[in-house]
Chains A and B, each alone.
Chain A
Amino acid sequence: MAEQRVHYIHHLSYSARERLVGVFVLVALAVIFGLIFINSRTSHLLEERITYHVYLKNAQGVSTESIVKVSGIEVGRVSSIDIAPDNRVHLELFVYQRFHNLLRADSRGSLSKLSVLGKAVIDISAGSVSAPLLPEGATLSIEEPKSLDELMADLAPVLEKVRQIVDGVATLVQAVDPADVATTSREMARTLESLRLVSAQIASGKGALGQAVFSAEAEHKVTSSLSSLETVLHKADQRLSEMRPLLANASAITDEGRTTTQELSALVVETKQLVNQMNTAMGTVNVELQQMPELVSRMKLLMDSTDRTLQGLQRIWPLSAAVPAVRDDILLEAQPLHD
């Protein structure tokens, strides 16, 4: 009778078997991490690339990690950034060979609006099929978005004009002497008081109207009132003469204000466009937010799964030796009353 051969695993101690399983797990983990590393770093390693050049006045938000897209598809990346002899920013970017057909002579590029926020994407429009292919090393024309500084620079003249208007109004207010105004007011008050006395005497019924009017006292009072009124009118005329240049200046200021208002309306239109763009962006974010509950549920499932995986790993050598085992009892130990 032939001797039955026993598998070597049965000759190993429990500890040795545990170590063997541990080695298997560690090797598997190393392979997985290696694959992930290789995949992320070399997924396009063997692809052929075509290089293009771009010149920009402002490369805000652009880095060597910036993505190049054609019609929304990622087709390449920015490979280097340097300064051209004419002090513009020179970008060298590459596009994978398989997307070369998309780039034609009529392709136009643009820097994404988000570049002012620090994450630029170079978006190139797919050229028409009838146009010739864009040759390697060609220069792409890129439409640059306005930077924050430029937007602020556009606003600066408007603000300057507003400041001038405010200055003009301040000058106008300063030209009027409060003391003169007070004097004029007092004299007018006196005149009005005299007029009130005259009308009171006429209305008093002391005699006929002719008697009141032709009496010497009344005549004197009327003469005095007229004299005061003449003085007041003279002074008022004088003040108006002094104010004429100021009023002419105010007219010029008003004209400037009108021009400014016209520019402001253009700015308002631009602002409206910006708000519309922001609304669109918020709409996109809103859609993302609506997906949050599902995302949270999936995360919970993932966390549960990870938890189970980690608990399983902790039971395998060498982790089992390093991590103290948690006693997963479901019933508390019996204990006496403290008091």
Chain B
Amino acid sequence: MIKPVLITLAAVLLGACVSAPEQRPAALLQGERFLEMGVQSFRADDYANAATHFTRALDHYLGLDHQPGILHSRINLAETALAVGNGAAAERHLRAARPLAGAAEADRLQLLHSSVALWQGRPDQAVELLAPLLERVPPGTGLHRSALANRSAAALARNDADAAAWVERYAAALHGVEGGALVGRLHRFRAELARRSGDAAAAAAALQQALAAYKAIPDRPGTAATLEQWAVLLMDGQHWDEAEDRLQRALHIRLWLLARRDTVADLRRLAAVSEARGQPQRAAAQRRWAEIVAGAGPVDWAALQQEVLPQ
């Protein structure tokens, strides 16, 4: 007799706590779950898994002909491709996403296009893309800050006279922002300006701040880019040992990310350092690996790591 009473009581108690059930179809929720897992992997710097989840989400949404889902998947895939230094893949996804984008997503796609243009070494095109975007997007948003960061990068890449002004405008937009990748990027801009003005000490100090900002998150591509920038600064001052140390640390990250273009750049810089230190054989090996990675064929990454990096 007591059991039915207890069961009824429990059912009533549980019934009181039940919230409204999810109304959307399970297929849509499944797609969202893939996207959520991808975003979480991306935030954990696990780009390989992020790409896997986003690709599954894309397949899932393509199977449903769900346009917003396809658009979100492609935007996320483009971001992931840029994070691992694969501008070609990013461009492919952006091209496919363009017809699907409404007004809200068009700005985001334009920002990504500017990133691809910068990645491809076309800062003029990036400036053209960013000009209307900076007028349209309200200040204080992540999109506006990122657009300003790209605009500053383009100004520095073009050696514009107002590059410092753009950097300061970007700094002003980050007012009140504590840490993070955007702050790390600001320190790197300042380091570059200091290097160009010949103030190596100020540049090193800014890079140290950038490194601290990226490592606090942590942000692998940001960390690697900072180390590479530092290596260039040290090479200018002919501090070969320290430059080699920064390049090797950066290369470890690039190999982890399997970022081919950045790996090639690091290997070529390492070869230049080896030659400057009077190690022609080592330089030749580094150049040989740079050529292999630059090619389209498969790469024995383990062999590269064993030969080029200290174990």
Q: Are B17 and A337 in contact (CB under 8 A)?
A: no
Q: Are A337 and B150 in contact (CB under 8 A)?
A: yes
Residues on A with C-beta less than 8 A from B185 are 336, 338
Count of A interface residues, CB-CB < 8 Å: 26
Offer 30 A-B interface pairs, CB within 8 angstroms, sorted by A.
A25-B17, A27-B13, A28-B13, A28-B14, A31-B10, A31-B13, A35-B3, A316-B17, A328-B36, A329-B36, A330-B35, A330-B39, A331-B35, A332-B75, A332-B76, A332-B80, A334-B143, A334-B146, A335-B146, A336-B115, A336-B153, A337-B114, A337-B115, A337-B149, A338-B185, A338-B222, A338-B224, A338-B225, A339-B153, A339-B225
**B residues whose Cβ falls under 8 Å from a Cβ of A:** 3, 6-7, 9-10, 13-14, 16-17, 19, 32, 35-36, 39-40, 42, 72, 75-76, 79-80, 82-83, 108, 111, 114-115, 118-119, 142-143, 145-147, 149-150, 153, 181-182, 185, 221-222, 224-225, 228, 262
Given contacts A24-B16, A312-B19, are A336 and B146 in contact (CB under 8 A)? yes
Residues on B with C-beta less than 8 A from A331 are 35, 39, 72, 75-76
A window 261-307: CB within 8 A of B:
none
Residues on A with C-beta less than 8 A from B9 are 31
Q: Are B16 and A337 in contact (CB under 8 A)?
A: no
Q: Are B142 and A333 in contact (CB under 8 A)?
A: yes
Residues on B with C-beta less than 8 A from A179 are none
Q: Are B142 and A31 in contact (CB under 8 A)?
A: no
How far is B17's CA from A4's CA once the two chains are assembled, in angstroms? 27
How far is B143's CA from A52's CA once the two chains are assembled, in angstroms? 81
Which residue of the partner chain, among A35, A39, A312, A330, contacts B32 with CB atoms under 8 Å?
A330
* B79 shortest CB reach to chain A, Å: 5
A32 adjacent to chain B (CB < 8 Å): yes
Q: Are B39 and A337 in contact (CB under 8 A)?
A: no
A208 adjacent to chain B (CB < 8 Å): no
How far is B182's CA from A333's CA once the two chains are assembled, in angstroms? 12
Q: Are A335 and B39 in contact (CB under 8 A)?
A: no
A326 adjacent to chain B (CB < 8 Å): yes
Q: Are A330 and B108 in contact (CB under 8 A)?
A: no
How far is B76's CA from A334's CA once the two chains are assembled, in angstroms? 10
* A207 shortest CB reach to chain B, Å: 91
Seed contacts A337-B82, A337-B114; 16 additional CB < 8 Å A-B pairs? A27-B13, A31-B13, A32-B10, A32-B14, A35-B7, A39-B3, A330-B72, A331-B35, A331-B76, A332-B42, A333-B142, A334-B111, A335-B79, A336-B153, A337-B153, A338-B185
How far is B43's CA from A327's CA once the two chains are assembled, in angstroms? 11
